[in-house]
Amino acid sequence: MSFPCRRSVSAWTTRSARNRVTEPPRYQLRSGVRLARGKDGRWLVQDKALRRAIRLGDKDARVLRLLSQGRGLRFDQLVGKVGNAAEVRRRLGALARLFVLAGPRSRQRLALQQEAASGVKVGQERTDEAIIFPQGSNPPRHACVATGACCSASFLGPMSEPDRLRVSGLTLGKRSQVSLGSEALESVEFQGQELWGMRRIAGSCVALGDDGLCDVHAEHGYDVKPIPCRQFPLRFHRMPWGLHVSLLLACEGYDRARDAAEPWPSRTAEVRGFVAEGAHVPACALPFEWTAGVPASISDTQTLLGALQADEAADDACPRSWLAAIIDKFERTAIERGEDLQEGPELSGSLRLATARLPGQLRDSTPWFDLAGLTAHQAHLAQRSAMLIARDEPADAERLTRFALGIDALKANLQLQPRGDFGVSGPARRHLLDVVANDLPAQIAIGHLDAGLTNLAVRLRFIEALACALCQAEGKTQVTARHTTLALKVAYRSEPDITALAKSRTEPPS
């Protein structure tokens, strides 16, 4: 995939001439990077400055070996040795994105490593930390309307250690399916860590009564409940400039209470309280990378996020078009930055944005996904669903069945008007706009910005398609808030499946 080049070869040569460089640039290995065979015989890049080791394929390793000799090689010299200009451009682009070539890109990456090391540690809580709530004049808000949605997640944690000790010492009442708090806990292993949560039976917490009320709350009061129960559906992400708060839109009560909910700033003390008590707060990784090979400073990323959030959508705006405009803006900025960092003119257009062609897909009506990939995903869902039924987990099995219905809807390319056949009510449209407004900072916090925006677009498309399918199943043609609410619940409880869907997106021909 190539992108328009902002800086032409002649412009590059002019700048070189200004710098009294009379010949084209030589591509070189960055100093401090070593290429060696690993114990398994495969090529390994050892990079002390960035504290990492990267495996390389034979073709990339061959180019890197050539570049590591003497003063490096000009592009034409490299083509002479490798024999194919397109192949050389492809390999150089891949090596540049790994920051192993000498040049402005690697210098920027190393400087940002310093910034990340010398600044405030992103993982640390600070009492003066800014709390940043969902933005806009009508952001998604929340007030509990006791739907019990928080008590039927596939994992009811993770608890802090004080949570675990407090709950395990409780006695429970007649709502609960167990009488001792110590019997109401379960743990899962995640990335080598043991995480604790409330135990589930048939998909719901053992402390949830038939009346939909919590036994821990009823017997011991709100404050005794574990943090994840009190925090739901608030979701936190720590960035260098503050703590972003968003909502898990799986909570069926989030929009029912939209008008009744207190304005966000009134929840500041509550959020600080959760954080001080040990709530789970994932922190973004530093330095930021907008896409592979485009590192960016903290202040530049904060400015970019502000710019992406700046244009608020009207209540009757098309959610997909709004997100397309946001991604357009991101791509323009990222491409411009990437071009400024290129090692030589031959690498112009060598970025590989995960969002490539996504704005067009958001705006038009053509299918997004590879049908074979969707079918394989459905088969996997069916297997997992059968396993959950065998384990007496009917609620999770039903969620997977609904996810599979969403995939059917993607296969049939069900869409809202004007692209498709389904009308949409105002509140349902508002739900889709909420997905964009609510998730933008959260997606940017979790990795490369282009991957986060792709995930967000796929989530939005999936929710739209599933809502259409739920509407169709009732023999109707107008999607309402009831359909979008259920589609939100399925999507926000199925993060790994949404990520898997994002990987089976196809790129239309250029």
DSSP 8-class letter at 203? T
> Binding ligand SF4 by CB under 6 A: which of 66, 94, 205, 410?
205
Structure tokens at 293: 């090979």
The answer to whether 433 contacts ligand SF4 (rule: CB under 6 A) is no
Tokens 């196809």 — which residue?
A: 506
Q: Which of 33, 229, 327, 449 binds ligand SF4 (CB under 6 A)?
A: 229
Of the two residues 159 and 271, which places its CB atom closer to ligand SF4 in the complex?
A: 159
Residue type present at position 129:
E
207 makes contact with ligand SF4 (CB under 6 A) = yes
In terms of Cβ atoms closer than 10 Å to its own Cβ (0-12, 13-18, 19+), residue 86 is exposed
- Whether the CB-CB separation of 284 and 239 falls below 8 Å is answered with yes
Contacts of 353 (CB under 8 A, 6+ apart): 1, 3, 291, 331, 334, 335, 450
Distance, C-alpha 49 to centroid of its chain: 28
- 133: DSSP letter: P
Nearer to ligand SF4, 100 or 214 (CB): 214
Q: What are 70's two structure tokens?
A: 């003497």
Q: Which is nearer to ligand SF4, 211 or 474 (CB)?
A: 211
Among 166, 225, 402, 431, indicate the residue that binds ligand SF4 (CB under 6 A): 225
Least distance from ligand SF4 to the Cβ atom of residue 152, Å: 8
Shortest Cβ distance from residue 168 to ligand SF4 (Å)?
13
198 binds ligand SF4 (CB under 6 A): yes
Q: Near ligand SF4 by CB under 6 A, which window of 12-20, 86-94, 208-216, 276-284?
A: 208-216
Residue 170 or 491 having the CB closest to ligand SF4: 170
Strand partners for 56: 43
CA 477 and chain centroid, separation: 32
**Residue 150 interacts with ligand SF4 (CB under 6 A): yes or no:** yes
By DSSP bridging, strand 131-132 and strand 242-247 are parallel
> Which of 45, 50, 156, 487 is close enough to bind ligand SF4 by CB under 6 A?
156
Residue closer to ligand SF4 (CB basis): 207 or 271: 207
Closer residue to ligand SF4 (CB): 141 or 225: 225
Whether residue 146 contacts residue 253, with contact meaning beta carbons closer than 8 Å, is answered with yes
Nearer to ligand SF4, 150 or 249 (CB): 150
Closer residue to ligand SF4, CB minimum distance, 18 or 174: 174
**Contacting range for ligand SF4; rule: CB under 6 A; set: 98-106, 204-212, 388-396, 425-433:** 204-212
Residue 159 neighbours by CB distance under 10 Å: 24
112 is a site residue for ligand SF4 (CB under 6 A): no
Size of the site for ligand SF4 (CB under 6 A): 12
Tokens linked to 359: 């704005």
Query: Is residue 298 a contact point for ligand SF4 (CB under 6 A)?
Result: no
Place of tokens 């490539």: 356
| Residue ranges in 11-30 that form contacts with ligand SF4 under rule CB under 6 A | none
What's the distance, CA 399 to chain centroid?
21
Q: Which stretch binds ligand SF4 (CB under 6 A): 11-19, 150-158, 290-298, 310-318?
A: 150-158
Complex with ligand SF4: residue 251 or 313, whichever CB lies closer: 251
Q: Is the dihedral of CA 118, 122, 124, 129 positive or negative?
A: positive
Which stretch in 42-50, 214-222, 295-303, 337-345 sits in contact with ligand SF4 by CB under 6 A? 214-222
Residues with Cβ < 8 Å from 165, sequence gap 6 or more? none
What span, in angstroms and rounded, lies between the C-alpha atoms of 185 and 170? 11
By the criterion CB under 6 A, which residues form the site for ligand SF4? 150-151, 156, 198, 205, 207-208, 214, 216-217, 225, 229
